[in-house]
Amino acid sequence: MACAPTLRSTLLAAAALVLTGTPPALAQTTGGASGTQVDALEEIIVTARRRSETLQETPLAVTAITPAQLESKATLNIGDLMGSAPNVLISQQNSGGAAANVSIRGLSFADIEKSFDPTVAIVVDGVFIGTSTGAYLDFFDIESIEVLRGPQGTLFGRNTIGGVINIRRSRPTGENGGKVELSYGKFNTWAMRAILNANVVPDKLAAKFFYFHNESDGYYRHGVNGDRRGGNNNDNFGASFLFTPTDNFEALLTVEKQVQNFDVVNSSISQTGEVICTMAPAAECDRNTRGDLYTIFSEPGHSNYKSPAVTLEMNLDTDGMDVTSVTGYRTSDEAQTQDFDSSTADLYYTNRIQDYWQFSQELRGAGNLTDNFDYVIGGFYYESKFNLFQATRLFGAMTPAADQYNTGRARSYALFGDFNWKLGDQWRLSGGGRWTRDEKKQINRVGPAQYPQASYSGSKFTPKVVLDYRPDDNNMIYASWSRGYRSGGFSSRGQTLVSSTTPFGPETVDSYEAGIKSSMLDNRLQVNLAAYYSDYDELQQNTTIPTNVGTGNETIVSNVGSATIKGIELDVTARVTHDLKVTGSLGIQDSGFKGFITGAPNAAGQLVNFDYSAVKMIYSPDVTGSIALDYTVPLDAGDLVFNLGYRYIDAYDQQISLGPTQVDPATGNVTVLANDPRVRSDKQNLVDASATMNFDLGDNRAKLTLYGRNLLDDRGPTAAFTVAGLFSFASAREPRTYGVQLGVEF
């Protein structure tokens, strides 16, 4: 059956629009095959539904990124994915070790506290990372990356209400060999990465050893002596062992440790009218949020982060069912000082010491009941604990009354099932559900005030239904409805009895999605288009309000009403010639709050309502897009590969904050018209390029890469925060940088 003319013409028109470079469109996907003619794009196998299936057969919005794409761009870490998939933002949060702020489809929760659950799950080798710390990962030893957009609670578990970034690292090869890479770049940045594979017992035991190191002097300068600030020194090392005693069983054990030491840099964006500007020199106030961010005046704080982890994956293949067990264990110890007012006036300085522990166990089975019906069923257990001590210095003096001791514990249980049912040659019904129960406890002490233990528990069933139709072998149309859920809990930064012991409730989303996946021109062109509408209820948001205890203000989480997010996403991959591949993406979305009302004291100490419904959602740009060109020049000695990429990220806000207001004279209630303009990131135009020479080095294979990132030197904030009336600060994104890499594979 041929594809309807309207569908075919729509897809061809969309592809033509993207490939002609209409800004700001386009992004990533797959590699190509070899041959003397224009080859078809190779199939990409994904596990987005806990099954191995091709990207074009998977009825959900997913972007697959291969190791070749990462290497061609000289990618260093997870942050380099920002903009490569539609409606996806990833930035580094300097308030925690290896911490990542991740937003998919406008949904983000930018906080490093261990009591809060992420909205987007980072899953590494099947293990969910329970906090944003430790999620800003190195990208050298990667087998595949899948960015799943929209709620994924059915199969990927707790707190995947925004989506999932599913990362799988390479497995031991069972052959003796390895690879080493050295790089040096601007800001005295250098890195060494090495992997060694060993065949320990032939056909029974294989091992892989890895060590990654990178360090930098940082890209900030001190405003007085001109020295570099913002330096870091990072190590990640460990080993994996693959045990295959029989043909139908394997066990993969990975033991690793992540260590990070870095300067905690905050740049002052305080302005006249805030307390700090009555104390600090004039040059430290009323600065812009672009180039001025790269000059600091106070000495940075320091962070030391250590996180060992163990992962065990076991697979048993039987005639009736394939069984998989994934066990994850991770701990972390953090010690961090931070100058929040970012000035020489020394208004607000903290010393935070905390430890964290998480354990997870997933057991699932997959099989076929009939030739037309397959399933995945399983159970999941998760537990975490944390302890936090924070000492605070206010106006240059230690303040024991503001010292905070906080401990918390969380448990989660789940049962899940997912199925595919072929209703004929062209129709398929998919779906499933997950039942989750969450339990949390918290004990908080602020200064001499010891608050009682508080408890929270709740459960939720989150279903999903998908219907897809394949009019022919090259096209698929699908529609889905899914419900996402994120657990309630406690605000660990609460400083009053009420905020420390009153839990916030769970948030839920109903997400509707329809899409088209099409392969054209003998599979030399792939166009994937998705439209979605998400309706969020009881949305969890951070708000900063004044208090009469502790530090004088507190940032707490509360359920603030609802929100709707709707958008369109486009992924395109084209093999233009044998040597040229073009990939692109475009994301367009519209988001807004409804009924976002909180209570807080006004200047006279009276409790009034603050209506934030008109402000923009954070980390939710209206447009994201990218285009990347990979061109290969065959040479006698090897080949020369050029990569040129452009990413566009529209302006977005980075904090729910008190900006322009309108006060009702009769009631005193306040309508917040917009977030503070200082927390708004400007539009970003990011150009990256690299040239890689692949060649033989004796019996080994080698490569030499010259790379440049952010070649237009687009500067601005990566995170910004205001504490109304007191002070404001921000951190800066990486400016233009460049370097060279040398790699050898043996």
Residue 67 has pLDDT above 90, yes or no: no
The whole-number pLDDT of residue 37 equals: 62
Percent of the chain past pLDDT 70, that is, above it, reads: 91
Give tens-digit pLDDT for 275-292. 999 999 999 999 999 999
d(CA 349, CA 366) in angstroms, rounded, equals 53
The whole-number pLDDT of residue 3 equals: 41
d(CA 145, CA 157) in angstroms, rounded, equals 18
Give tens-digit pLDDT for 244-265. 999 999 999 999 999 999 999 9
* Residue 262, C-beta contacts closer than 8 angstroms, at least 6 positions apart: 94, 97, 230, 231, 232, 233, 234, 302, 303
Residue 127 has pLDDT above 80, yes or no: yes
Task: Single out the residue of 471, 389, 388 nearest to residue 425, CA to CA.
Answer: 471
Residue 17 has pLDDT above 60, yes or no: no
The count of other CB atoms within 10 Å of the CB of residue 268 is 30
Cβ atoms of 390 and 352 closer than 8 Å = yes
Average of per-residue pLDDT across 611-635: 94
Percent of the chain past pLDDT 90, that is, above it, reads: 66
Give tens-digit pLDDT for 692-722. 999 999 889 999 999 999 999 999 999 899 9
Residue 47 has pLDDT above 90, yes or no: no
The whole-number pLDDT of residue 23 equals: 35
The whole-number pLDDT of residue 39 equals: 82
Domain residue ranges in the chain: 5-745
Cβ atoms of 366 and 375 closer than 8 Å = yes
Cα dihedral sign, 619-502-493-160: negative
The whole-number pLDDT of residue 65 equals: 82
Beta partners for 517? 476, 528
Residue 494 has pLDDT above 70, yes or no: yes
The H or E element spanning position 10 is: helix 5-19
Q: How confident is the model at residue 2 (pLDDT cuts 50, 70, 90)?
A: very low
The whole-number pLDDT of residue 28 equals: 34
Average of per-residue pLDDT across 437-466: 94
The whole-number pLDDT of residue 215 equals: 94
Residue 544 has pLDDT above 80, yes or no: no
The whole-number pLDDT of residue 551 equals: 66
Least confident of 429-438, 473-482, 556-565: 556-565
The whole-number pLDDT of residue 34 equals: 42
CATH of domain 5-745: 2.40.170.20
Q: How confident is the model at residue 32 (pLDDT cuts 50, 70, 90)?
A: very low
Average of per-residue pLDDT across 481-492: 91
Q: How confident is the model at residue 21 (pLDDT cuts 50, 70, 90)?
A: very low
- Higher-confidence position of 433 and 499: 433
Q: How confident is the model at residue 219 (pLDDT cuts 50, 70, 90)?
A: very high
What is the secondary structure of 343-402 as a DSSP string? STT--EEEEEEEEEEEEEEEEEEEEEEETTEEEEEEEEEEEEEEEEEEEEEETTEE-GGG
The whole-number pLDDT of residue 546 equals: 67
Give tens-digit pLDDT for 314-371. 999 998 899 999 999 999 999 999 998 899 988 889 999 999 999 999 999 999 999 9
The whole-number pLDDT of residue 548 equals: 67
Give tens-digit pLDDT for 362-402. 999 999 999 999 999 999 999 999 999 999 998 888 889 88
